[in-house]
Amino acid sequence: MEFTILDSIPDLTNFKSFTDRYFSKRYILNVDRIKNNDIMLMFHSNRITLLSLAPSHFFFKKNDNYKINFVIGKIDRLSNSVKGKGKKGGQLLTAKSVICKIEYNDGESFDVPSCMKGTLIEVNEELVKHPKLLKEMPDSNGFIAIILSSIAISEATKSELLSHEDYLKIMTNESSNNEK
Amino acid sequence: MNQKTIFKFCKDLGCCDRCCLRYLGVKIPNAYENSNEYVARFQDEPTSNIKSQEDIQSNENTTSGKDNVIVTDAVTKSDNTCSASVHTDNDSDKDIEGIQDNATGDVDSDNIHNDNMEYKNGILPPTKRRKLHHCVSCLGILQEDTWPDTNLMLKEMLHKKSYECPTFACALSAPIATLLRERAVTLLVREAYPEYDPNTLTPLKEAWKWSYGAQAAAHVGRSLHSGAVSPLLVTVNMEYPHEMQELEILKALSPSLFESRSQQRKRFAVEFTRRAAEQALAGAAAAALRAAGWPAPPEPAAHARCAAVHAAHAPLHLAGRYIKLSRELPQTPWILNGVRMMESSVQEIIFAPIAAAYGLTPEECEHRLKFMSAGREDVDVRCLGDGRPFAVEVTDPRRELTEAELKRVCEDISAGGKVVVREMMYVTREELAELKKGEETKCKTYEALCIKLSHSEHEHDKSPTEPVTVTEQDIANINSYSNTSEPGVRVQLVQRTPIRVLHRRPLLARTRHILQLSAAAVPGQPALLALRVRTSAGTYVKEWVHGELARTAPALQAALRARVDILALDVARVHLDWPRRAHPAPR
């Protein structure tokens, strides 16, 4: 009876990335009625949620340099801290809460809303040093924030938002419409 | 004040012989076991002036049978341990006692006092039918009349649970009224003899163990030991029918205490507890008891009875190492929102044959067996090598499984093919502590199958469309990688609590170490590499391989200089020598 890790080589044709293995993606399109202000929420099976921009967000069309600012009015998202198992002390978020601002060098900027009620667990500090991550890997290392909601809210949000499959269908339709 | 006077004083109050010895502070077990013989020295003309316990002890051997002849067991019936001379002398008396055995009901205390006086004068009233006297202090608990009932219940309980344990320890749960009565007696002795030290009192439960316990040993065919020695503990619960009425007197002694208790009904569900009684009695004086209507503890109208016997054997701990061969098997039942996620678990596979050997039903399993282990692995991680140390706690076991049974248990566990246990043994509590401590200190060796996801930094000449391959240079980069000069450590990393456990654990950034690291190419799989990693306790290896969105840093990516992810993980070795082999089963 000799076992080695080499007897566990999986079928690589269905290889899934880290986020695709553990998270299910949901989308909100045209947030605040701003065209292509499209947000992506990635739900872990344990209800922890990652916030990021959907690939169809207008952000990905613009090639100017930008910075990510986590200071919203008087609140600095970077100073968020949570204590204990209950994550006490985390900043409370509503769907409208702004997590960060994307500020272009030309002075333009836009807000990234939380899109879900919950507690802010952490923001991705790497984005401050490496803003490019948001553009290059929005569904992995370029995530914006980790949010924890109650089971009820996270289940409800997850079920009412656009699923990944439906999102892909809409995107295909839109691009074919544009071609026409 | 001499001991004889105190003995007589207590006797006149209505104490049984053993209680008299308790008030004298006698702490010799044999004195209580054979009280008939022992009390002689306090009843007769003293052969010597007894001053101390040592004296008593040294006298014990020299006390002749002749002394015993004069002893009359008016109160405490003679038992089998009495010398033959006593039996012959008291033959006529024994007949009376035989009748007394069945006597219950009202007792005339005056009558008894008279009896005692007559006995002491050596005048036996053989025709007079004496009524059963219940001790005013122990309520009969130390009197042999109450023992047969208890013996019966004790035997029945031990028979029902059929323990194999050859020894036992016993504990007494006595009525609270005995505390009240003890206090009343000590106060009276103190009043009559101010130099008497009430702290010399031998506790009732000790005297009971030495007398009742010693006697019960023969009845149940087990030897009596202290609770520290025998794992089998028998608790005898004695109840006194007039307990509640009698404890009312405590309210007179300490009205404020019980008023505040009754106001806080929610906090104090029971009106009289042992603690409350002790509090109420702590400051009580003889005058207060007298004022409350207790000039002396009254003769109890009935003796305390054995209400229940509980028996429990200290838990046993079975230990071994499990090898987990399945990637679809959690360590413990995985139930999410009341829904079972996986059909079995390592715990259940190990429990089943143990439960069968002990004859436990599945319901009993739940609270009688407890699974413990040195850490755990994920559902999809195998645990190979010589496996992971674990222990199963068996609550209230009736017996120890034999070597052959243990072997059979291992065979049954391993038969399913998902879990293999080669050997099981019993371990002590001290060894169990090592298992738990090991969880925090042990290191582990893993084997990880990884996939390279991007070209390495030194491969910038490669086109992005070219397939990603693991090169010799990549392997060399990993094998030479280190980011710390700390001795014995290859990689120092900081891990934030992984997202997959973040919902139930605090968010922290912890420093962890990789102690050994080596990589090898995988034949026939150009994009894969196999890692062998030895880590300090608490390192999340999967997260270190893929970096978990940069929440673990540095990750394997820093060594490989390319993006990388994990495909499969095995625990190759848990570096904890436990349980130690060649451990003889405790007997």
Query: Residues of chain B with pLDDT > 90: what percent?
Result: 70
Q: B530 vs A6: CB contact, 8 Å cut-off?
A: yes
Q: 116-155 in B: which are within 8 Å (CB) of A?
A: none
Query: Which of B41-55, B136-150, B220-234, B466-480 comes out lowest in average pLDDT?
Result: B41-55
Nearest C-alpha of chain B: how many angstroms from A165? 24
> Which residue does chain B place closest to A83, by CA atoms?
B506
pLDDT at residue B286, rounded to an integer: 87
pLDDT at residue B330, rounded to an integer: 96
> Which residue does chain B place closest to A48, by CA atoms?
B503
Kindly tell me if the per-residue pLDDT of B32 is higher than 80: yes
**CB proximity B67 to A under 8 Å:** no
Sequence-ordered strand ranges (E) for B501-544: 509-522, 525-535
Kindly tell me if the per-residue pLDDT of B34 is higher than 90: yes
Nearest by CB to B507, which of A8, A50, A121?
A121
Residue A53, classed as helix, strand or coil, is strand
pLDDT band for B516, please (50, 70, 90 cuts).
very high
Sign of CA pseudo-dihedral B181, B187, B189, B195? positive
End-to-end CA distance of chain B: 50
Q: A10 vs B567: CB contact, 8 Å cut-off?
A: yes
**CB proximity A162 to B under 8 Å:** no
> Which residue does chain A place closest to B496, by CA atoms?
A122
Residues of chain A found within 8 Å of residue B382, distances taken between Cβ atoms = 3, 8
Q: Which CATH class is domain B315-441?
A: alpha beta
pLDDT at residue B580, rounded to an integer: 87
Tell me how far apart the alpha carbons of residues A158 and A40 are, in angstroms, rounded to a whole number.
11
Mean of pLDDT values over B510-515: 97
Choosing among A2, A4, A5, which should be mutated to test the B contact, i.e. which has the most B CBs within 10 A? A5
Tell me how far apart the alpha carbons of residues B528 and B561 are, in angstroms, rounded to a whole number.
15
B77 or B266: which carries more pLDDT confidence?
A: B266
> Which residue does chain A place closest to B550, by CA atoms?
A141
Q: B507 vs A18: CB contact, 8 Å cut-off?
A: no
Q: B327 vs A8: CB contact, 8 Å cut-off?
A: yes
Nearest by CB to A87, which of B420, B507, B528?
B507
pLDDT at residue B44, rounded to an integer: 62
Choosing among B414, B419, B502, which should be mutated to test the A contact, i.e. which has the most A CBs within 10 A? B502
pLDDT at residue B283, rounded to an integer: 81
> What does the pLDDT look like over A119-170, one tens digit per residue?
999 999 999 999 999 999 999 999 999 999 999 999 999 999 999 999 999 9
Contacts of A39 (CB under 8 A, 6+ apart): A27, A28, A31, A51, A52, A53, A54, A57, A112, A113, A115
Contacts of B514 (CB under 8 A, 6+ apart): B489, B490, B491, B493, B533, B534, B535, B536, B539, B544
**Does the predicted interface ipTM exceed a cut of 0.90?**
yes
Kindly tell me if the per-residue pLDDT of B127 is higher than 60: no
pLDDT at residue A171, rounded to an integer: 94
| Residue B470 backbone class (left: φ over 0; alpha: ψ -120 to 50; beta: rest) | beta
To which residue do tokens 């272009």 refer? Answer: A104
Low-confidence ranges of chain A (pLDDT < 50): none
Kindly tell me if the per-residue pLDDT of B435 is higher than 60: yes
CB-based contact B324:B418 (threshold 8 Å): yes
| Residues facing residue B373 across a β-bridge | B390
pLDDT at residue B282, rounded to an integer: 87
Kindly tell me if the per-residue pLDDT of B124 is higher than 60: no
Nearest by CB to B528, which of A9, A22, A46?
A9
Kindly tell me if the per-residue pLDDT of B66 is higher than 60: no
CB-based contact A128:A68 (threshold 8 Å): yes
Tell me how far apart the alpha carbons of residues B288 and B245 are, in angstroms, rounded to a whole number.
18
Closest CA to B183 of B279, B258, B248: B279
Q: 497-536 in B: which are within 8 Å (CB) of A?
A: 499-507, 522, 525, 527-528, 530
- Residues making up chain B, counted from first to last: 587
For residue A5, the 8-state DSSP code is G
Q: B382 vs A3: CB contact, 8 Å cut-off?
A: yes
Tell me how far apart the alpha carbons of residues A54 and A168 are, in angstroms, rounded to a whole number.
11
Task: Report how far Cα B402 is from the mean position of its chain's Cα atoms.
Answer: 23
pLDDT at residue B133, rounded to an integer: 85
> Where in chain B are the domains?
3-128, 144-312, 315-441, 443-574
Tell me how far apart the alpha carbons of residues A67 and B312 are, in angstroms, rounded to a whole number.
69
pLDDT at residue A137, rounded to an integer: 96
Residue A132, classed as helix, strand or coil, is helix
Give all strands of the β-sheet with A48-53 in edge-to-edge order.
A92-93, A118-123, A145-148, A48-53, A39-44, A23-28, A162-163
Q: B506 vs A84: CB contact, 8 Å cut-off?
A: yes
Residues of chain B found within 8 Å of residue A17, distances taken between Cβ atoms = 565
Nearest by CB to B499, which of A8, A140, A146?
A146
CB-based contact B412:B353 (threshold 8 Å): yes
Topology of domain A17-179 in CATH is OB fold (Dihydrolipoamide Acetyltransferase, E2P) (2.40.50)
Mean of pLDDT values over B389-409: 96
Residues of chain B found within 8 Å of residue A44, distances taken between Cβ atoms = 499-500
Tell me how far apart the alpha carbons of residues B551 and B559 are, in angstroms, rounded to a whole number.
16
> What does the pLDDT look like over B128-169, one tens digit per residue?
444 568 999 999 999 999 999 999 999 999 999 999 999 999
Q: Which CATH architecture has domain B443-574?
A: 2-Layer Sandwich (3.30)
pLDDT at residue A1, rounded to an integer: 59
Backbone angles phi, psi at B107, to 5 degrees: -130, 135
Closest CA to B72 of B148, B125, B2, B135: B125
Side chain identity, residue B280: A
| Tokens coding B272 | 């009289």
Nearest by CB to A18, which of B448, B502, B565?
B565
Q: What share of chain A is helix, strand, coil (3-state, %, to 5)?
A: 30, 30, 40
Kindly tell me if the per-residue pLDDT of B79 is higher than 50: no
Residues of chain B found within 8 Å of residue A15, distances taken between Cβ atoms = 451, 567
Mean residue pLDDT of chain B comes to 86
Two domains, one topology: B315-441 and B443-574 = yes
B416 or B267: which carries more pLDDT confidence?
A: B416
Angle between helix B274-282 and helix B255-263 axes, rounded to 10 deg: 150
